[in-house]
Amino acid sequence: MTFRPALRQKPSKFATVTTAIALALAPFSAFAQEKEKGPALLRDTETEQLLRDYTRPVLRVAGLEKQNIQVTIINDPAFNAFVADGHRIFVNHGALMQSETPNQIIGVLAHETGHLAGGHLAKLHEQVAAAQTQMVIAMLLGAGALAAGAKGNGNTGLANAGAATLSAPQEVIRRSLLSYVRGQEENADRAGVKFLTATGQSAKGMYETFKRFTNDSLFAAHGSDPYVQSHPMPAERVAALEEIAHSSPYWDKKDDTALQLRHDMMRAKISGFMERQDTVYRRYPLSNTTLPSRYAHAISTYLHGDLQNALTQIDGLIQVQPNNPYFYELRGQALLEGGKPAEAIAPLRKAVQLSNNAPLIEMLLGQALVASDNRAYADEAIGILRAAVARESEAPLGFSQLAMAYGRKGDLAEADLASAQAAYLRGDNKTARDLASRAKTRFAVGTPGWVKADDIISSKPPKNN
């Protein structure tokens, strides 16, 4: 399941610290409309494993190692990362692509970990709640003044004063909230540097990233009111970050060469899957024969329909790293999507084995077994897919392929139940309930399948935040 859009998750009401303030001050209907336009997520075992390796030591020193913090990739080419609740760090694939070294993206992840460790979202909820209370009081006072000015005594000055009372406190409250968020950003910077130092890593990448984007925003910020910015004024924030980052004894420490190669491979994979073919070849010209460049070329070649050429390139990659599970995964995916599912089975079996049964790759293998249209593979596909969805319960693909595998066997009750679970995860609650209702009629009352179907019928749509 290499870099394919996955479950479309709806962003949390407090998707970012700055967005939280905007939402708190905006009409509810605007928020609901934005919520329906949430960006698709991307799933890829290789990239997710690398991000886990990046965050694990940082989360450990932050005291969050046992909190099951996940890094989720958003299908967005812009550079951005944020926390949406106490359990997820969201990062755009553009941030991964634009980070030239592991240290640069690790610094960003350390900053976001600072938000999590500081409990900033929970505290912001309290601040917003308090602000909303103040707004209600201010509006009531303003409405009272308006009423007093409208009693036919011609006192338009009092009415105008009431209108000012309605607007002025909201501006003061907005500035107060923004000032609070600026403080959170500064605290997250300091915490991020602290975590990097505690893990023996440089904060230079974090500083380089923020400085680069500060320089990009200097013109836009020129002449702006520093009290209405959610982040500290660029020069001030970068200067403060540079001071604390330079104090680390690891300032000049370089990334491990093996880690840098994994990072370069990740960036090449993102380019191959997410960028136009001409863009890929500008970024990785044919004269560039490095492994990352060859990886990007092979991906782009298969995506644009030249299957045999792509397979030749992938086989070349496998010769260089015969124990790399993601090269076998790529070969299997290219064959599967090229209309050769039976041929995809062998490389995908190898990928599953080398990846220690990664559930997303297991789902791809299950898909190949089902698509081969060989009923002899039905039982194997069911076993593999059931194991995969037990460990990766939020991927609709696993359940949809499981439904097809059960259908091959003529087990309509389990097929309906799996289809209902897939629809539920996609956010299609009506279809999920319809399929679950039909599944209930096929199961004996009180059996595990009947209970699961009943749970879907009575449940609310999943909160993907």
Q: Is residue 10 part of a domain?
A: yes
Task: Write down the pLDDT at residue 198.
Answer: 96
Q: Are residues 114 and 248 in the same domain?
A: yes
Q: Is residue 249 part of a domain?
A: yes
Better pLDDT: 362 or 165:
362
Q: What is the number of other CB atoms lying within 10 angstroms of the CB of residue 447?
A: 11
In Å, the largest CA–CA distance within the chain is: 91
Q: Is residue 364 part of a domain?
A: no
Whether pTM > 0.95 for this model: the answer is no
Better pLDDT: 30 or 83:
83
Q: Are residues 146 and 287 in the same domain?
A: no
328 pLDDT band (50/70/90 cuts)? very high
Q: Are residues 177 and 105 in the same domain?
A: yes
3-state secondary structure of 364: helix
Task: Write down the pLDDT at residue 216.
Answer: 60
Q: Are residues 317 and 263 in the same domain?
A: no
In the numeric block, which tokens belong to residue 181?
């968020």
Q: Is residue 197 part of a domain?
A: yes
Task: Write down the pLDDT at residue 384.
Answer: 97
Nearest residue to 440 (alpha-carbon basis) of 452, 424, 430, 431: 452
Q: Cβ distance 344 to 320 under 8 Å?
A: no
DSSP assigned state of 463: -
Q: Are residues 287 and 202 in the same domain?
A: no
132 pLDDT band (50/70/90 cuts)? low
Q: Cβ distance 402 to 411 under 8 Å?
A: no
Q: Which tens digits make up the pLDDT trace of 6-31?
A: 433 333 333 333 333 232 232 223 32
Which of 112-126, 221-235, 340-354 bottoms out in mean pLDDT, i.e. has the lowest? 221-235
3-state secondary structure of 27: coil
Nearest residue to 464 (alpha-carbon basis) of 3, 74, 129: 74
Average pLDDT, the chain: 81
Q: Are residues 200 and 293 in the same domain?
A: no
Q: Where is the domain boundary, 240, 272, 304?
A: 272
pLDDT at 193 over 80: yes
Q: Which tens digits make up the pLDDT trace of 431-451?
A: 999 999 999 999 999 999 999
Q: Which tens digits make up the pLDDT trace of 90-113?
A: 999 999 999 999 999 999 999 999
Amino acid (one-letter) located at 128: V
Alpha carbon distance 297, 301 (integer Å):
6
3-state secondary structure of 231: coil
**For residue 306, what are the domain limits?**
275-322
Q: Are residues 112 and 133 in the same domain?
A: yes
Domains in the chain: how many in total?
2
Q: Are residues 251 and 285 in the same domain?
A: no
Q: Is residue 52 part of a domain?
A: yes
Task: Write down the pLDDT at residue 126.
Answer: 57
378 pLDDT band (50/70/90 cuts)? very high
Q: Are residues 2 and 14 in the same domain?
A: yes
421 pLDDT band (50/70/90 cuts)? very high
Q: Are residues 260 and 281 in the same domain?
A: no
Q: Is residue 463 part of a domain?
A: no
Q: What is the number of other CB atoms lying within 10 angstroms of the CB of residue 68?
A: 9
Q: Where is the domain boundary, 272, 299, 330?
A: 272
Q: Are residues 250 and 218 in the same domain?
A: yes
List 42's β-bridge partners, or say none: 5, 73
DSSP 161-203: HHHHHHHHHHHHHHHHHHHHHHHHHHHHHHHHHHHHHHTT--S
Q: Is residue 96 part of a domain?
A: yes
pLDDT at 57 over 80: yes
Task: Write down the pLDDT at residue 119.
Answer: 73
Give whichever of 32-41, 180-189, 208-217, 262-271 has the largest mean pLDDT.
Answer: 262-271
Nearest residue to 187 (alpha-carbon basis) of 246, 124, 250: 124
Q: Is residue 448 part of a domain?
A: no
Q: Are residues 118 and 72 in the same domain?
A: yes
Task: Write down the pLDDT at residue 187.
Answer: 85
